[in-house]
Amino acid sequence: MRIGVLTGGGDCPGLNAVIRSVVRKAIDGYGDQVVGFRDGWRGVLEDSCHELTVESTRGILPRGGTILGSSRTNPYKRDDGAAQVRATLDLHELDGLIAIGGEDTLGAANRLHADGVNVIGVPKTIDNDLGATDVTFGFDTALQVATDAIDRLHTTAESHNRILVVEVMGRSAGWIALHCGLAGGADVILIPEIPFDIDEVCGLIRRRHERGRYFSIVVAAEGATPKEGTTMTVDAGASVDEFGHVRLGGIGRQLERAIEERTGFETRATVLGHVQRGGTPTAFDRVLATRLGLAAIDAAHDGAWGMMTALRATQIELVALADAVAEVRRVPVGEYRRYGVLFG
Ligand code: F6P
Average pLDDT score, the chain: 96
How far, in Å, from the CA of 138 to the mean position of ligand 1?
A: 12
Q: What is the pLDDT of residues 36-69, one digit of tens each?
A: 999 999 999 999 999 999 999 999 999 999 999 9
Q: What pLDDT score does 235 carry?
A: 46
Residue 165 sits in the same domain as residue 205? yes
Nearest CA to ligand 1 atom 15: 10
Q: How many domains are contained in the chain?
A: 2
Residue 13 sits in the same domain as residue 68? yes
Q: What is the pLDDT of residues 73-84, one digit of tens each?
A: 999 999 999 999
Does residue 235 form part of some domain?
yes
- Report whether 189 contacts 224 (CB < 8 A): no
Q: Specify whether the backbone of 98 is left (phi greater than 0), alpha (psi in -120 to 50) or beta.
A: beta
Q: DSSP label at 341?
A: G
Residue 91 sits in the same domain as residue 161? no
CATH code of the domain covering residue 178: 3.40.50.460
Q: Which residues are identified as catalytic?
A: 127
Q: Which domain holds residue 269?
A: 139-277
CATH code of the domain covering residue 15: 3.40.50.450
Q: Is the pLDDT of residue 230 over 60?
A: no
Q: Is the CB of 181 under 6 A from ligand 1?
A: no
Which of 261, 277, 293 is the endpoint of a domain? 277
Q: Is the pLDDT of residue 237 over 80?
A: no
How far, in Å, from the CA of 329 to the mean position of ligand 1?
A: 16
Nearest CA to ligand 1 atom 8: 171
Q: What pLDDT score does 229 carry?
A: 56
Q: What pLDDT score does 228 carry?
A: 73
Residue 157 sits in the same domain as residue 269? yes
- Integer angstrom CA distances of residue 44 from 14, 37, 62, 99, 116: 22, 6, 26, 11, 15
Q: Which of 130, 222, 277 for a ligand 1 pocket mutation test, highest count of atoms within 8 Å of Cβ?
A: 277
Work out the average pLDDT over 305-323: 98
Work out the average pLDDT over 197-215: 96
Rounded Cα–Cα distance for residues 55 and 183 (Å): 39
In which band, very low, low, confident or very high, does the pLDDT at 233 lie, cut at 50, 70 and 90?
Answer: very low
Q: Which of 129, 169, 277 for a ligand 1 pocket mutation test, highest count of atoms within 8 Å of Cβ?
A: 169
Residue 74 sits in the same domain as residue 91? yes
Beta strands in 193-261 (DSSP E): 216-221
- Report whether 162 contacts 194 (CB < 8 A): no
Q: What pLDDT score does 239 carry?
A: 77
Does residue 270 form part of some domain?
yes
Residue 228 sits in the same domain as residue 264? yes
Q: What is the pLDDT of residues 113-153, one digit of tens each?
A: 999 999 999 999 999 999 999 999 999 999 999 999 999 99
Work out the average pLDDT over 17-39: 98
In which band, very low, low, confident or very high, does the pLDDT at 234 lie, cut at 50, 70 and 90?
Answer: very low
Q: What pLDDT score does 232 carry?
A: 39
Q: Is the pLDDT of residue 90 over 80?
A: yes
